């Protein structure tokens, strides 16, 4: 998809659909008024009749018989000055309403947004248009992708064009990265295996000179002492993979940001087998991995001047004669022994060795992303990603990046008191706490392997995919991560 910021004159702008805001009192913005005038008051007549719903973000599509604008999409705003949350709603609703056209132009920039500039508006409009245009078609016999190919963000003033273009560029990167993550997430477990992820990572490196990919196989991981990772991998006939994508777009010697993604391509629970209900959704248990893939794609595509390493811990969690059993004790790469009390708490087992491996890249920060716990869904639902960090500055930066993009996180505690739940009678620690604070104790487990660097953990169990009629991967937290990484430079 192609995005541009452009100073347009709506009376001359050739577009399949112009997106225009209307406030609660049926007042149009400047470009809306211009179209209304040119069409002998057609828009105001329709508004007077009450054809546009009064609820915020209601839309009304109006075909235009004359002029350069083929259609107008009216979108209901509360006022002509709105807050960020409302602007996001308007951006999302209007984007969804135009995906059936090849092209559209948004004039929502004529609204003013409290505490946000043109740069932010352009970013939000682009991100939402990019997200709306995505559709999973790969496994359909008769695939018809959404037609939307070109999206223009109107800029009212030439002086704002530069900043708007920056916003478009960021929004575009975030949408691209999110959609890559969604595609990988939506792929079923029989296609998206650990080997599939490894070959995708290698293919990406082939296309980009500054990116190298290395893949560690089971044998190599075994020899490096990754007993925790291997305890999960060994139950499956699918070979596991520890994938590292190293992008050197920044200055040599600048310490990289390291992202680590949980890549359980299917989580049956292992011997601690999950119930059958909705087990299909455990194909999404690699959404952390998918998100770091999405971030990497976006960074190399835009040739971002940053050093970033993405590590994917890919394995399938299966019950079998070779699978780990409750009570088994394994030794992690860090040397700590772990009693596996529940084989369904496999994410932390693959991640703890991946976190130890991450230290080899001498990172400035390490951020892991994982669909780690059902408990996080109970705590936060699907609106917020659970955020944990061992450094306050990192936590604040990630929270701020989430607020800016609307891909929000909420900080949770890593207090000492919670660590006691992981005490084992037989090993250095056990892989589950009790029923209480399940997301926190999982994060506490990981934190014990992230002592050598600044670290954050994003539990995306609730935010990574939608269930029900709109079942599908969301691409979160790609927007948050890209905002964080690109803000830093």
Tokens of 220: 């190599």
Tokens for 196? 């599939």
| Window 283 to 342, contacts with ligand BES (CB under 6 A) | 285, 342
User: How far is it, in rounded angstroms, from Cα 288 to Cα 475?
Assistant: 9
How many CA atoms are closer than 13 Å to the CA of 258, on its beta-carbon side? 23
Identify whether the C-beta of residue 194 lies closer than 8 Å to the C-beta of residue 316.
yes
Q: Is 344 in the site for Mn ion (CB under 5 A)?
A: yes
Regarding 221 and contact with ligand BES (CB under 6 A), the answer is: no
Least CB distance from residue 229 to ligand BES, whole Å?
A: 14
* Residue 390: CB minimum distance to Zn ion, A: 23
Q: Which of 267, 339, 368, 397 binds Mn ion (CB under 5 A)?
A: 267
Measure the CA dihedral 373/221/355/241, to 10°. Answer: -60
CB 118 within 8 A of CB 164: yes
**Residue 374: contacted member of ligand BES, Mn ion, Zn ion, none (CB under 5 to 8 Å, by partner type):** ligand BES
Shortest distance, position 373 Cβ to ligand BES, whole Å: 4
Q: How many residues bind ligand BES (CB under 6 A)?
A: 16
d(CA 50, CA 414): 53
Residues between 274 and 293 with contacts to Zn ion, criterion CB under 5 A: 285
Print the binding letters for residues 413-452 with ligand BES: x by CB under 6 A, - otherwise.
Answer: -------------------x-----x--------------
Look at strands 429-430 and 409-411 and give their pairing. Answer: unpaired
| Residue 49 known to be catalytic | no
Stretch that binds ligand BES, among 231-239, 298-306, 329-337, 368-376 (CB under 6 A): 368-376
Tokens of 324: 């780990």
- The single residue of 79, 96, 274, 471 carrying the catalytic annotation is 274
User: Nearest CA to 270 among 340, 219, 374?
Assistant: 340
Rule CB under 5 A: say whether 347 interacts with Zn ion. Answer: yes
Which listed residue (314, 352, 366, 375) binds ligand BES by CB under 6 A? 375
Q: In angstroms, what is the minimal distance from the CB of 266 to ligand BES?
A: 10
Contact 407, 343 (CB under 8 A): no
**Which residues is 263 bridged to in the sheet?**
314
Distance in Å from the first CA to the final CA of the chain: 26
Does 371 engage in binding with ligand BES (CB under 6 A)?
Answer: yes
Q: 17: how many CB neighbours lie within 10 A of its CB?
A: 25
User: 316 touches which of Zn ion, ligand BES, Mn ion, none (CB within 5 to 8 A by kind)?
Assistant: none
Task: Report the largest interatomic distance among the alpha carbons of the chain, rounded to a whole angstrom.
Answer: 82
Q: How far apart are CA 473 and CA 476, in angstroms?
A: 8
Task: Verify binding: residue 265, ligand BES, rule CB under 6 A.
Answer: no
Q: Which residue, 110 or 344, has its beta carbon nearer to Mn ion?
A: 344
Residues sharing a CB contact under 8 Å with residue 442, sequence separation 6 or more, in sequence order:
345, 347, 348, 372, 373, 375, 433, 459
**C-alpha radius of gyration, the chain, whole number:** 24
Query: What is the smallest separation between the CB atom of 346 and Mn ion, expressed in angstroms?
Result: 5
Nearest approach, Cβ of 231 to ligand BES (angstroms)?
14
Contact range with ligand BES by CB under 6 A, out of 107-115, 294-302, 367-375, 407-415: 367-375
Distance in Å, CB of 184 to Mn ion, minimum: 19
Binding mask 115-134 for Mn ion (x = CB under 5 A): --------------------
Please report, as residue ranges, which positions from 335 to 354 form the binding site for ligand BES (by CB under 6 A). 342, 344-347
Closest chain position to Mn ion (CB): 344
Closer residue to ligand BES in complex, CB, 382/411? 382
The Cα-based distances of 359 to 325, 435, 439 in angstroms read 29, 31, 24
Is-contact 18 107, C-beta < 8 A? yes
Among 110, 183, 238, 267, binds Zn ion (CB under 5 A): 267
Whole-number Å distance between alpha carbons of 28 and 35: 10
Does position 267 interact with ligand BES (CB under 6 A)? The reply is yes
Active site residue 322: no
Q: What is the DSSP track for 406-448?
A: T--EEE----HHHHGGG--SSSSEES---STTHHHHHHHHHHT
Cα–Cα distances in angstroms (integers) from residue 466 to residues 182, 186, 313, 471, in the given order: 11, 11, 23, 5
373 counts as binding ligand BES under rule CB under 6 A:
yes
SS3 267: strand
Q: Which of 225, 250, 326, 374 is in the footprint of ligand BES by CB under 6 A?
A: 374
**Whole-number minimum distance, CB 240 to ligand BES, in Å?**
15
Nearest to 98 by CA among 9, 183, 18: 18
Question: How do strand 150-154 and strand 2-6 relate by DSSP bridges?
Answer: parallel
Cβ closest to Zn ion, residue 183 vs residue 267: 267
Least spacing, CB of residue 347 vs Zn ion, in Å: 5
Site stretch for Zn ion (CB under 5 A), options 117-125, 238-246, 267-275, 430-438: 267-275
Residues near ligand BES (CB under 6 A) are 267, 285, 342, 344-347, 371-375, 377, 432, 438, 461
Residues near Zn ion (CB under 5 A) are 264, 267, 285, 347
- Residues marked as catalytic: 274, 348
């Amino acid at each position: 998809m192609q995005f541009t910021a452009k100073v347009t004159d709506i009376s001359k702008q050739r577009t399949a659909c112009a997106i225009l805001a209307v406030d609660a009192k049926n007042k149009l913005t400047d470009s809306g008024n211009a179209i209304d005038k040119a069409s002998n008051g057609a828009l105001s007549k329709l508004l007077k009749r009450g054809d546009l719903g009064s609820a915020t973000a209601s839309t009304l599509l109006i075909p235009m018989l004359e002029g350069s604008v083929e259609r107008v999409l009216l979108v209901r705003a509360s006022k002509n000055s709105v807050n960020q949350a409302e602007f996001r709603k308007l951006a999302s609703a209007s984007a969804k309403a135009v995906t059936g056209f090849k092209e559209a132009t948004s004039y929502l920039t004529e609204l003013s947004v409290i505490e946000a500039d043109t740069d932010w508006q352009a970013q939000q409009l682009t991100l939402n248009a990019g997200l709306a245009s995505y559709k999973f078609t790969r496994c359909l016999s008769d695939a018809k992708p959404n037609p939307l190919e070109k999206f223009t963000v109107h800029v009212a003033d030439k002086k704002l064009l530069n900043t708007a273009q920056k916003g478009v560029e960021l929004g575009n990167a975030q949408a691209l990265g999110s959609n890559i993550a969604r595609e990988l997430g939506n792929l079923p477990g029989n296609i998206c295996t650990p080997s599939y992820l490894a070959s995708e990572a290698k293919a990406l490196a082939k296309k980009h000179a500054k990116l190298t990919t290395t893949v560690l196989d089971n044998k190599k991981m075994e020899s490096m002492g990754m007993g925790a990772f291997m305890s999960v991998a060994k139950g499956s006939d699918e070979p596991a993979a520890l994938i590292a994508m190293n992008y050197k777009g920044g200055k040599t010697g600048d310490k990289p940001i390291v992202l680590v993604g949980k890549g359980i391509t299917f989580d049956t629970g292992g011997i601690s087998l999950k119930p059958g209900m909705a087990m299909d959704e455990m194909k999404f248990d690699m959404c952390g991995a998918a998100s770091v893939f999405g971030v990497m794609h976006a960074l190399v595509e835009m040739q971002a001047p940053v050093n970033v390493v993405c590590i994917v811990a890919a394995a399938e969690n299966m019950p079998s004669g070779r699978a780990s059993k409750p009570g088994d004790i394994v030794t992690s790469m860090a040397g700590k022994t772990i009693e596996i009390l529940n084989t369904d708490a496999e994410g932390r087992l693959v991640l703890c060795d991946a976190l130890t491996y991450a230290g080899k890249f001498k990172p400035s920060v390490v951020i892991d992303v994982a669909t780690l716990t059902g408990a996080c869904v109970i705590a936060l639902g699907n609106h917020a990603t659970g955020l944990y960090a061992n450094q306050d500055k990192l936590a604040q930066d990630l929270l701020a990046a989430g607020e800016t993009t609307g891909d929000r996180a909420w900080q949770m505690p890593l207090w000492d008191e919670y660590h006691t739940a992981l005490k084992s009678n037989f090993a250095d620690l056990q892989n589950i706490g009790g029923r209480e604070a399940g997301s926190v104790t999982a994060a506490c487990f990981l934190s014990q392997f992230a002592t050598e660097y600044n670290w954050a953990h994003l539990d995306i169990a609730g935010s990574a995919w939608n269930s029900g009629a709109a079942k599908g991967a969301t691409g979160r937290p790609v927007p948050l991560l890209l905002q964080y990484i690109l803000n830093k430079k």
